[in-house]
Amino acid sequence: MAINALTAKSFDEPDEQRRPPKTQVDVVNIGDTTLGRFTFEPGWKWSETVKTVVHTDSCQVNHVGICSAGTLTVQMEDGTQTTISPGNAYTIPAGHDAWVEGDETFVGYEIMSAAVFAKPA
């Protein structure tokens, strides 16, 4: 991918917004790249929020991102799990559930899944 323009965009003025329960997905498009800021409120759980929009048994999206706030636990269909906290870069393969730990809002910035996460199938 060639980059041939100097560009800056704010997630506070996104190109697209998605708002399932307890979920804010703010999407910006820069050239051929789609980036997302994912904000999940305390009590957020994928299987209780985004599942109501996408209607799959587990999240079928691959994720690559960086956590800037809050704590998120991710559990794969096989039972393995990990916890993501501020400063962590992460990859999450398709086939998982996830939930916010504690009473702090989770904020993650993602590059791989922003175009499709929390969109109806």
Domains of the chain, earliest start first: 23-110 (2.60.120.10)
The pLDDT of residue 85 is above 70? yes
Instruction: Report residue 48: phi and psi, to 5°.
Output: -110, -10
Token digits of residue 88: 């962590």
Say whether pLDDT at 22 is over 90: yes
Report pLDDT for 112: 84
Q: Is pLDDT of 29 > 70? A: yes
What pTM, to 2 d.p., does this model score? 0.94
Give me the residues paired with residue 90 across strands.
Answer: 65
Q: Could you tell me where the DSSP H helices lie in 22-101?
A: 51-54
For residues 33 and 113, is the Cβ–Cβ distance under 8 A? no
The pLDDT value recorded for residue 1 is 64
